[in-house]
Amino acid sequence: MNEIVGSQFTISPDHPALAGHFPGRPVVPGVLLLEAALAAVPTGDNWVLQSIPAAKFLHPVLPGQVIQLRIELLAEPAPRIRARFHGTCNAHVAFEGSFLFSTAGTVT
């Protein structure tokens, strides 16, 4: 299984997490970027997120900026699937990493 998925997203300037991150100069928190990347992974019905083995935040993302997201699904030794992701904004890689999934009932 090698599948590549592309999408895009924007974090609204009105998002409640931005109020304290950071006052006067809001920056999108990494957890929101990870949440958006996770939501874009085309998971199967029985997939369970096992871990986030890698996550790097390389360039600040500001509210309202469009993020281009690329996700690559890779087969791991059964019953695992890895989803590598990277998000770009204004020609900069803003964040990258991977998620590791297992099928339901086989979490180790």
Find out whether 101 and 43 touch, Cβ atoms under 8 Å. Answer: yes
d(C-alpha 12, C-alpha 14), whole Å: 5
Angle at 54 between CA 51 and CA 63, to 5 degrees: 100
Q: Which residues does 15 contact at the CB level (< 8 Å), separation at least 6?
A: 28, 32, 63
Where does residue 53 fall: left (phi above 0), alpha (psi -120 to 50 degrees), or beta otherwise?
alpha
Active-site residue, from 15, 21, 86, 92: 21
Helix segments in 1-108, DSSP class H: 30-40
The reply to whether 21 belongs to the active site is: yes
Which residue numbers are catalytic?
21
